[in-house]
Amino acid sequence: MSDLHTSRPAIDPDARPIVEARDLKTHFQGRSGIFSALAGVKPPTAKALDGVDLRIRKSEIVGLVGESGCGKSTLGMSLVRMYQPTDGRILYLDDDITRAEGRRLKDYRRQAQIIFQDPYSSLNPRLTIGQVIEEPLVIHDIGNAAERRERVVRALDLVRIPAVDNIDRYPSDLSGGQRQRVAIARALVLEPTFIVADEPVSMLDVSIQASVLELLDELSRKLGLAILYISHDIATVGYICDHVAVMYLGRIVEEGKAEDILSAPLHPYTQRLMAAIPRMDPGDTAGRAEIRGDVPSPMNVPQGCRFSSRCPYVADLCRAVEPELGQHPAGQRVRCHIYGSEGAKRFPDLQRPEWGRITEVTDAGTLAQASS
């Protein structure tokens, strides 16, 4: 059994990714009624996922963090082809499955599984634990009854739920942590290579979160699973992830090795996310710049840098041009003008953002520069 505090084995950065997203975009067209559609009224578009590159390798756990509405779940759902991407590509072992249909899509669904947040509604209350875990095998028409049962028992073993006592019980007889393990067993029974875990512990009590995280960690090592771990809690990401990507309004704003990002975040948004975590030892929260307001709607993405409407350091350049995801000497890649960007070279006249120069917002909503 693995310990969460021992570091994870290094992942070869040149290894072939199991799953890769290239400039992936998933936009949602608001659906209009039959009459307005006939009248030619165009519904608004929500750019939930707007150009994301990501690679997940064998045995690697990639953490994806951000607030709700940042597009992290949309990315997860798009990668397992629950949402049809609007643009860009999804590669599974170099095979483009972005628009796969029929047999090819069903084959991909065997390889890519998803675990959802809510352990209470993710299991059909009318099915026994055995039936729940058997269902993927039924869907993919694998084995006879006895073989299927054997695989179900093996999957339960993997998540450390005693099969004898539990296979004929109903989800209502289990605790939240046990249900989440059953959901993981259901994902494992098809022996997939890639799993999206969408907030798998955020509805569990703190006292049992670690055991589920530990299980994911162990599965990635033992079975070589590529795991995308989605969470709004950047603190849990630190325990199991090799690589972390921080998302904001449909784009990655910072990514790199988990230890680099968690020990020295560069993007103002990542810094704020980290500062938002309550500390057990009070007193180290001082000197952090507050970010304002709520996440803007993905139907109305701000001009320039997407974070400019909330960033405490925003300057004219930020509102004019969106920075690219650039390599920073510290190791990670970051999308911010503070660290220099192509835009800064192209518009040398525009004021650039600087560390420590906090931009005040007056009540009227206009921005004014305040010297700090």
Partner 1 sequence: MTSTSLATPENRTASPATMQALATLNDRLAAKPAAHLRVEKLSIAYSTARGPFHAVDDVSFEVKPGTNLGLVGESGCGKSTVIKALIGLQPEGTKVSGQALLDGQEILGLSERALQDVRWTKISLITQSAMNSLDPVYCIGDQICEAIQAHESVSRATAWARAEEMFALVGLPASRLHDFPHQFSGGMRQRTVIAMALALNAGMLLADEPTTALDPIMQSQIMSRIRGIHEHMRRSMILVTHDIAVVAETCENTVVMYAGKVAEKGPTTDVLARPLHPYTMGLQNAFPRLPVKGQPRQALISIPGIVPNLLRPPPGCRFAGRCPFATERCHIEAPAVTAVGAQSAACHYIDRAPEFREAAARPETWRKLGAGA
Partner 2 sequence: MNQPSSPDAAAIRGRSLLGAMGQSLRLLTTDSFAVVGLAVLLLFVVIAISAPWIAPYEPFKAMMTESGRLNRLAPPSSAHLLGTTSFGNDVLSQFLHGFRVALLVGLVAAVAVGLISTIFGVVSGYFGGYVDDVLMRITDVALSIPTLPFSIVAVALLGPSVENIILVITILFWRNGARIIRSAVLTERERVYVKWARAAGASHLHIIMRHILPNIVRVIFLWVTMSVAFAVLTEASLSFLGLGDPTVISWGQMLNTAFSSGNLRTAWWWVIPPSLALVLLVSSLYLIGRAYEEQTNPRLRRR
- Interacting residues toward partner 2 by CB under 8 A: 31, 33-34, 80-82, 105-106, 109-110, 113-114, 116, 118, 121-124, 126-128, 130-131, 134-136, 138-140, 145-146, 148-149, 152-153, 163-165, 167-170, 173, 183, 186, 190
Query: Which CB sits closer to partner 2, 114 or 314?
Result: 114
Smallest separation (angstroms) from partner 2 to the CB of 115: 9
Which residues have C-beta within 8 Å of that of residue 325, sequence separation ≥ 6?
Answer: 252, 253, 255, 333, 334, 335
Confirm or reject binding of residue 100 to partner 1 (CB under 8 A): no
Confirm or reject binding of residue 197 to partner 1 (CB under 8 A): no
Give which of partner 2, partner 1, none residue 113 binds (C-beta under 5 to 8 Å, depending on kind).
Answer: partner 2
Confirm or reject binding of residue 358 to partner 1 (CB under 8 A): yes
113, 35 contact by CB (below 8 A): no
Nearest CA to 353 among 362, 363, 342, 344?
344
Nearest CA to 229 among 187, 267, 201?
201
212-232 burial, b at 16+ Cβ within 10 Å, e below that, comes to: bbbbbbbbbeeeebbbbbbbb
Smallest separation (angstroms) from partner 1 to the CB of 5: 4
Q: State the binding string over 211-250 for partner 1 (x if CB under 8 A, else -).
A: xxxx-----------------xxxxx-xx-----------
Residue 186 to residue 180: CA distance in whole angstroms: 10
User: Looking at 21-29, 120-128, 316-324, 355-363, which segment touches partner 1 (CB under 8 A)?
Assistant: 355-363
Type of residue at 137? L
Give which of partner 1, partner 2, none residue 289 binds (C-beta under 5 to 8 Å, depending on kind).
Answer: partner 1
Smallest separation (angstroms) from partner 2 to the CB of 336: 35
Q: In angstroms, what CA-CA distances link 85 with 33, 35, 76, 81, 89?
A: 23, 27, 11, 8, 8
Site for partner 1 in 291-350 (CB under 8 A): 291, 294, 312
Structure tokens at 129: 């634990």
Smallest separation (angstroms) from partner 2 to the CB of 77: 8
> How do strand 87-92 and strand 251-257 relate by DSSP bridges?
unpaired
Confirm or reject binding of residue 1 to partner 1 (CB under 8 A): yes
Nearest CA to 216 among 2, 56, 58?
2
Give which of partner 1, partner 2, none residue 126 binds (C-beta under 5 to 8 Å, depending on kind).
Answer: partner 2
Confirm or reject binding of residue 161 to partner 1 (CB under 8 A): yes
Would you give the DSSP letter of residue 366? -
**Residue from 289, 299, 320, 344 in contact with partner 1 (CB under 8 A):** 289
> How do strand 367-369 and strand 359-361 relate by DSSP bridges?
antiparallel
Counting beta carbons within 10 angstroms of the beta carbon of residue 301, is it exposed (0 to 12), middle (13 to 18) or buried (19 or more)?
Answer: middle
**Residue from 210, 223, 320, 344 in contact with partner 1 (CB under 8 A):** 210
Give which of partner 1, partner 2, none residue 26 binds (C-beta under 5 to 8 Å, depending on kind).
Answer: none
DSSP, residue by residue, 266-298: -SHHHHHHHHTSPPSSTTTTTT-PPP-SPPPPT
User: Looking at 48-56, 76-84, 120-128, 268-276, which segment touches partner 1 (CB under 8 A)?
Assistant: 268-276
> How do strand 61-65 and strand 243-248 relate by DSSP bridges?
parallel
Residue 303 to residue 241: CA distance in whole angstroms: 32
Alpha helices in the chain (DSSP H): 34-38, 72-79, 102-111, 129-139, 145-158, 163-166, 176-188, 206-223, 234-240, 258-263, 268-275, 316-320, 342-346
Query: Which CB sits closer to partner 1, 192 or 268?
Result: 268
Smallest separation (angstroms) from partner 2 to the CB of 362: 43
Smallest separation (angstroms) from partner 1 to the CB of 124: 22
Site for partner 1 in 55-94 (CB under 8 A): 67-68
Q: Which residues bind partner 1 (CB under 8 A)?
A: 1, 3-5, 7, 67-68, 160-162, 175, 177-178, 181, 205-214, 232-236, 238-239, 259, 262-264, 272-282, 285, 289-291, 294, 312, 358, 360, 363
